[in-house]
A and B are shown apart, each in its own frame.
Chain A
Amino acid sequence: MKYRLSEKARQILNHLSTMKRPLSASSIAKSLGLKDETVRSLLRSLRQRKLIEDKETTRIEFYQLTPEGQHFATKGLPEIRLVKLLAKQGDEGSVESIAKEKVLKPSEQTLALGWARQNKWISVSERDGHTWMKLMSNATEAIKQHPLQLALESAEESGLLQLDDVKFEKKDLRRIQNTLRKRKLAELVSRQTITVSITSKGHQALKAALTDEELIRDLSPDLLKSESWKDQDFMPYNLRAPTSPLYPGKKHPFVEFIDRLKRVLIGLGFQEAKGPLVEIEFWNNDALFMPQDHVAREVHDAYQIKTPKGPGRIIDESALKRVAKTHENGWTTGSTGWRYPYSFDIARRLVMRSQTTSVSMRFLSKHKKPPITMFSIDRNFRPEKFDATHSAEFIQIEGIIGSKDLTLRDLMGYIKAIAKGVGVEKLKFKPGFFPFTEPSVESFIFIPELGWREFGGSGIFRPEVTLPFGIDFPVLAWGLGADRLAMAALGIGDIRELATRNLGQLRKASMRF
């Protein structure tokens, strides 16, 4: 009879045979330097093949870590982390300063404070309306070789804590047991252990077994050439065994999202354009009929530029003059204009681009024959502090369509088509206001998980915007926020995560969106 034994199964049988007494799975594992689970699964199959048999069952007690215990085993007890933090901050710190470090989760802060206090590692006082914590002299010493922490760490990998395995003094052992229970860091569980011994069939198998060396591990060109694989068996692989992670080359999800948006717009017949990140106010604002003292142009709404000093150049001087007249008295556009003296100096000032509508205006100044379409998806800048919902850099999806006979209802049709392109069927319109469009439309889309959300602004460019550039047909314009769309698509709640600084997050990020 031919027995096929894997190398490890053979080792186990061999061990049982040499030791000549029943052994438990964990003792076999320890002796052979194998993992407990591996031995257990091999024993199961050996038992099935009747190569081994069960002898006696005993119960052993051990502790199993709770999720919290597991967490502290990896990260360290919160009170120990608190002591380390305080030591880093010069032995004293306020509750707020500790919270800012983000080393402790809010729920852990209370725990840490409580235990550190109970252990007499810190003293707590109220001062200037803040709660201050000060390290006691013994604290840094006490956290070194801390018995509870050591016990937890010994169980970090398996989640199982056998206290006899770790050398502790008796009083420490008691305290550890009490604390584990009281803090719910581990639960006492018992498990049946079975000892097994080799059967006579097992002895036979061991003798007759083919070892792995006699099986084909790697199919090689030589084996193929000699065709000797015909006389040999292939060593089987355990394909159910877990694999280690690989890190492939990958695109950034947000950049990829933008790339897909571009494809949607190309599909809708739009042609891409690009403009400079540092703009001249003329293109950023004036050409859009935004009066030079408009609130959106003030310090808190646009980044002004220290270096280079400027001024920028406006190549088409005659367009500049027409825009100036339009601001002052409406020029020949049929408008009253804003009725103020236009400043050419302001027009030539440099700003960080605050809206990609400037790209549309540059495009219109060069493409005057209908029909025209254009889109641009690019960065813009506004003086904001970065937080979960605000970003000083944001990406706008900008588009225009110009042709004779286009209407407000056509604009609504285009917005619907764009929404459909990004996977949204349900939307509603309301009147809106933008200085450069009239009529203006704001659209809202329905996202099942989020409800109604602002989709973007749109409108028909005012005659004061188009006529100075010689365009006498309607130009429909729209702008959507790419960031919010991406956040909804990628399931991100914090706008800063679009430019995440966490490589682990990028490695894990799903590219199916």
Chain B
Amino acid sequence: MNVDVRLSDLLTLVGRDLSEEELVESLFLLKCEIDSISNGIVTIEVNPDRVDLLSVEGIARALRGFLEIETGAPNYSIRKSDWQAIVDPSVKEVRPFLACGIVKGLQLDDDLIAEFMQLQERLTGTFGRNRKRTSIGLYVLDLITPPVHYRTESPDDIKFVPLEYYTPLTARQILSQHPKGQEFGKIIKDFPKYPILVDAENKVLSLPPVINSNDLGRLVEDTKDVFVEVTGTHKLTTLQTLNIMITALAERGGIIEDVEVVYTKGSERLPDLTFQQRDVSLNYINKIVGYDFDDSAVMKALGRMRMDSSVRGDTVQVKIPAYRMDILHDVDIVEDVAIGYGYDRFESTTPQLMTLGRELPLTTLLRTIRDLMVGLAYQEIHNYVLTNTRVLFEKMNRPMKEVVEIANPKSMEYHLARNALLPGLLAFLGDNTAQELPHNIFEVGDVVTLDANAETCTRSTPHLAAASVNSRVDITVLKAKLMTLLGNLGLSATVRKTSNVSFIKGRVANLFIEGTHVGIMGEIHPAVLKNYGIEAPCVAFELEILADWIIQ
């Protein structure tokens, strides 16, 4: 995901002047990447695991560590407040979790307000799974009378002025009329009652996860104190989202105050910025990286990644800041040690491992077939597996058959998986009437057919198909080539007359090898030629390459 930051702002937050080159290189080694720098705006690509880097404040915080301007885990102090947010049990079905916090003493300007809005969007877009899992609201603290209540109400009883509007709307109207309602309304639409946040005087803060109130939720330049709330369906994500938002605000010089979130059973004071602790074996780190870090090297590397650590014997005790969501396992600490040390500083090693390389016997067989086809003067072509009804059935004049069909195609040109190669070959020939004759083409490739008994309900099988177009064609020449091919594979085939709508009657036969029906050969029907736009006669064959032909 791309994050746009103002270069001057970023450098102020980092606290040191950096050349463009230094900035590019440091971010590169920090798992980010600079997409572009223009007009003082730096576009930085952030990986989805590091949601704490979705803000300029978070990026600066990481850079300060990496550049050793300020290392170790940042310490955010939290002042106690007497604010409360009370969660009503009625929200349990629709959106059960709430996390709140306060940041005071901010100096906002329009750029900064816009940036916080963007951070909110990015966080709820990725980590919040498009607001389904979490959504965020920021409010002018002075306009709210505590305690805040989180409960549900029926859609017609909720009425307030949503952001970007001047007149009050009911929740039902918001879902049908407001752009955000149309976009995110589907998350709550099917519930009889919608979640809502109100203050002690029943003023609406927001209709989560859809829209905030224009009266309370519009930050302006002279706003100093901000109330932050996160609602969600996943407890951990809700708490973590609050941590990221609150610490980003605190990086701007704000002072954090807590809010007591009260559930029916028990309460918690949020934000909870307690360090996550993890004990990792030094030997484990060294074994995975393939390096010999000593105590101080590990501590230094982790310090650059904004973690505190101490080493006792083989145990590295790591304190992980509460905004890091990506530490699930010891191995995640190992990667931070490696990044903190610097990927550019590792010499690569080559293990002396004795392994036998070999291709699949199928690959050998397919190559042999391709070599023989080239020897028979055919030009190989390469088509996509994805195709459409017209090419696969209609132009062949063959009846529709069940094939793999994609539920969410991007284009109706590509919505089926091919169950045969020949239609693609004929379409290719139809595109090349301007090329000098004769045309002799073939393709070897996988086709997909349905098979209820298979693990994936389908089967991918290699096929061979070939087609020749010339001012005069001869089915007996085609048969001779086909028999030569099979003869050179040590196979002998028999043909049996058949009828097939895509071929001329009396000039089409099924192909059998050791009694198994493997394919078809014949002269293409003039009506089919016309469908594909082929202007001269055409003979063709297609066969399945059977697994029994493979010599193991």
Contact = CB atoms under 8 A, between A and B. Distances in A.
Given A277-B446, A406-B351, A498 B382 contact: yes
Nearest to A382: B410
Interface residues of A, number: 100
A440 B457 contact: no
Contact of B289 (A274, A336, A408, A413): A408
B411 interface: yes
B360 A272 contact: yes
Contacts of A159: none
Given A338-B328, A413-B349, 5 more contacts: A250-B379, A300-B408, A350-B458, A407-B287, A407-B289
A84 interface: no
A76 interface: no
22 contacts: A249-B376, A262-B363, A266-B359, A270-B357, A271-B357, A276-B456, A278-B458, A295-B129, A307-B405, A308-B457, A409-B349, A410-B351, A412-B346, A429-B343, A431-B339, A435-B49, A438-B329, A460-B331, A503-B441, A504-B435, A506-B379, A507-B379
B290 A277 contact: no
Nearest to B415: A306
A503 B383 CA distance: 12
A383 B346 contact: no
A49 to B, nearest CB: 39
A80 interface: no
A128 interface: no
Contacts of B434: 504
Nearest to B375: A249
A340 B129 CA distance: 14
Nearest to B233: A340
Interface string A257-276: 00100100111111111101
Interface stretch (B12-20, B25-33, B488-496, B533-541): B25-33
A487 to B, nearest CB: 14
Given A393-B385, A393-B386, A431-B338, A259 B367 contact: yes
A412 B374 CA distance: 39
B339 to A, nearest CB: 5
Contact of B329 (A262, A384, A415, A463): A463
Contacts of A269: 353-357
Contacts of A303: 406-409
Interface string B442-465: 000010101010011111100000
B406 A305 contact: yes
Contacts of B236: 339
Nearest to A427: B348
A255 interface: yes
The 6 closest A-B pairs by CB, nearest first: A407-B290, A412-B348, A433-B47, A439-B335, A409-B290, A266-B357
B362 interface: yes
B432 A502 contact: yes
B26 to A, nearest CB: 11
A335 to B, nearest CB: 4
A399 B484 CA distance: 37
Nearest to A501: B431
Contact of A503 (B351, B354, B439, B450): B439
A453 interface: no
Contacts of A29: none
B147 to A, nearest CB: 29
Interface in A465-493: 474
A317 B328 CA distance: 25
A410 B290 contact: yes
Interface string A421-437: 00000001111110100
Interface in A491-513: 498-499, 501-504, 506-507
Contacts of A273: 360
B122 interface: no
B268 interface: no
Interface string A277-301: 1111000000000000101000110
A272 B382 contact: no
Contacts of A276: 455-456, 458-460
A501 B332 CA distance: 47
A431 B344 CA distance: 10
A249 B456 contact: no
Interface residues of B, number: 94
Most buried by A among B338, B355, B432, B436: B355
Given A278-B404, A430-B28, A410 B356 contact: no
A295 B132 CA distance: 12
Contacts of B407: 303-306
A270 B354 CA distance: 10
B428 to A, nearest CB: 6
A462 B288 CA distance: 11
A251 B456 contact: no
Given A251-B374, A304-B408, A392-B386, A274 B431 contact: no
B410 A383 contact: yes
A73 to B, nearest CB: 17
A306 B381 contact: no
A278 B460 contact: yes
Contacts of B384: 392-393, 499
A237 interface: no
Contacts of B360: 272-274
Given A268-B357, A384-B410, A439 B367 contact: no
Nearest to B346: A409
B328 A335 contact: yes
Contact of A462 (B329, B409, B458): B329
B338 A304 contact: no
A286 to B, nearest CB: 14
A252 B290 CA distance: 42
B234 interface: yes
B92 to A, nearest CB: 16
Nearest to A372: B355
Contact of B328 (A295, A336, A439): A336
B410 A340 contact: no
A310 B456 CA distance: 8
B343 A431 contact: yes
A312 B382 contact: no
Given A299-B408, A413-B348, A503-B428, A277 B448 contact: yes
A475 to B, nearest CB: 12
A415 B348 CA distance: 9
B184 to A, nearest CB: 15
B350 interface: yes
Contact of A274 (B356, B362, B417): B362
A368 B77 CA distance: 50
A330 B379 contact: no
Most buried by A among B362, B378, B417: B417
B440 interface: yes
Contact of A432 (B31, B359, B406, B435): B31
A379 B447 CA distance: 12
Contact of B48 (A277, A308, A433, A439): A433
B291 interface: yes
A305 B446 contact: no
A336 B386 contact: no
Given A308-B450, A438-B335, A252 B49 contact: no
Contact of B350 (A335, A417, A462, A501): A417
